[in-house]
């Protein structure tokens, strides 16, 4: 379940750059461009680590690699710390995945229908990690802009039961990538803030954040980060990688 969200997060944080429109676009147009930027690629390999501050002040890190192929094939392998090394997760859909546990030498199917709980004890929740396309679940309103960003207010579409019914999103005017997201509850209270920092161009059409920081204001501004150490875009990943056999063999 958690590796699923890792992969979803990676997807949500991955983008293709778009060309800035000549005139100010409308909010729906902007949201389409943002979703396109977040989802338009063939395949990718991300090396990343999740950094969490513990209550006693210590830091815990998970290092993992995510293989991803359009539209929905994902495989996540954990390489550190030692106690999770070798674990793998094959994601078939948003609600079904297969996990491989080296300690048990078994593959198990896991179906999950729970999104609004903490991801690996971090401040990321399943829901805020899994936001791949905002346009399918939110309606957008352009509420402002600054020198670098469009500022959109996203409100949950009717019938959507979401942990965060409202999001305020800052999208970079040149990349159409989110740089900051504020998550609100139904009463308009800011619960979390996500910052996507250090964007870099890692392929002719792709910008990748170097770091994603999430701050949970309910937990005394407790903070977690995902740091991307390397990315490889459109390298031609084989379909064989995304199979149970590959999962068991660790390839």
Partner 1 sequence: MGMLSRAAVRHPKRVLAAWAVILAVAAAGAGRLRQEDDLLAFLPSHDPDVRLFQEVSHRFGGLRVGLIGVETPVGQDLFTAAHLDRIRTATETIRNLDGVDRVLSLTTITDPVVEADGVDLRPLIPALPADERAAHALRDKVLSRQHVAGSLVSHDGRAAVIMAFFADGASDRTLTHAIRAAAEKTLAPLTIYYGGAPFYGRAVYEEAQRDIRWLSPLALLVLLLVVVLSFRDLVGVLLTVASVAASTLVVLGAMGFAKESYNAATSTLPVILFASGSSYAVHILGRYYLERARATSREAILRALAIAGPPVAIAGATTAVGFLSFVFTDVHPMRVFGLACGGGVLVCWLTSLTLVPSVLALWPRRAVTAPELRLVGAALAGLWHAAQRHRVWVLAIALVVGAAALRPMRRVAVRMEPRAFFRPGSEPARAGDFLDERFGGATFVQVALRGDFDDPATLREVDRLADYARSLPGVTQVQAITQPLVLIDEVMGGGRRLPVTRDQAANLFFFLDGEPGLRALITPDRRDALVHVRLKGEARPVVAALERFAAEELHHWPELPLPRDVAERLAWIASGAGHPAPPARIAKAIGPAHLPADDDPAWLERKAAIERSFREGDAALLPPEAQARQLAEARRDLAVRRLMPPLMSRLGIPDAEALRVSMLLDDLFLDGPRGFQARVELHADVAGEPVLSRGFSRSVAHNLDVSLGVSIAMVLGLLYLLFRSFKLSIICMFPSLLTLASIFAVMGLCDISIDLGTSLVAGIATGAGSDFAMHYLWYLRRQSADEVTRSVGPIMVVSVLLVACGFLVLAFGRSPVMQLLGTLAGLTMAISALLTCLLIPALRPVEE
Name the residues that contact partner 1, by CB under 8 A.
Answer: 1-2, 52, 54-56, 58, 60, 78, 83-84, 87, 98-99, 101-114, 117-122, 185, 187, 189, 191, 217-220, 222, 244-245, 248-249
Name which of 88 and 178 has its Cβ closer to partner 1: 88
- On whether the CB atoms of residues 180 and 170 are closer than 8 A, the answer is yes
| For partner 1, the closer CB: 58 or 146 | 58
Longest dimension (CA), the chain: 58
* Residue with Cβ nearer partner 1 (152 or 162): 162
Q: At its nearest, how many Å lie between partner 1 and the CB of residue 43?
A: 24
Which two three-digit tokens encode residue 20?
């800035």
3-state secondary structure of 118: strand
CA distance 150 to 217: 24
Please choose, from the candidates 227, 190, 251, the residue with its C-alpha nearest in 3D space to the C-alpha of residue 51: 227
**Structural tokens at position 80:** 């550190």
Nearest Cα to Cα of residue 192 among 173, 171, 153, 166: 166
CB of residue 224 to partner 1, shortest distance in Å: 11
81 versus 144: smaller Cβ distance to partner 1: 81
Residue owning tokens 């346009």 = 135
Nearer to partner 1, 41 or 62 (CB): 62
């Amino acid at each position: 379940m958690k590796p699923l969200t890792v992969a979803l997060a990676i997807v949500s944080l991955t983008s293709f750059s778009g060309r800035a429109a000549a005139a100010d676009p409308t909010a729906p147009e902007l949201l389409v461009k943002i979703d396109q930027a977040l989802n338009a690629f063939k395949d990718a390999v991300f090396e990343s680590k999740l950094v969490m501050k513990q209550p006693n002040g210590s830091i815990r890190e998970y290092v993992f690699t995510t293989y991803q192929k359009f539209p929905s094939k994902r495989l996540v392998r954990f390489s550190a710390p030692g106690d999770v090394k070798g674990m793998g997760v094959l994601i078939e859909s948003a609600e079904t995945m297969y996990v491989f546990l080296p300690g048990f030498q078994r593959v198990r199917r896991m179906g999950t229908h729970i999104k609004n709980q903490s991801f690996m004890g971090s401040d990321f929740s399943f829901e805020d990690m899994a936001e791949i396309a905002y346009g399918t679940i939110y309606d957008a309103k352009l509420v402002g802009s600054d020198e670098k960003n469009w500022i959109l207010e996203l409100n949950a579409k009717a019938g959507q039961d979401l942990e965060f019914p409202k999001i305020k999103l800052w999208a970079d005017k040149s990349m159409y990538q989110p740089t900051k997201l504020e998550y609100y509850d139904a009463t308009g209270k800011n619960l979390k803030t996500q910052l996507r920092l250090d964007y870099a161009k890692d392929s002719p059409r792709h910008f990748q954040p170097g770091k994603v920081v999430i701050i949970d204001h309910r937990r005394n501004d407790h903070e977690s980060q995902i740091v991307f150490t390397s990315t490889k875009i459109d390298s031609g990943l084989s379909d064989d990688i995304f199979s149970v056999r590959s999962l068991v063999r660790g390839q």
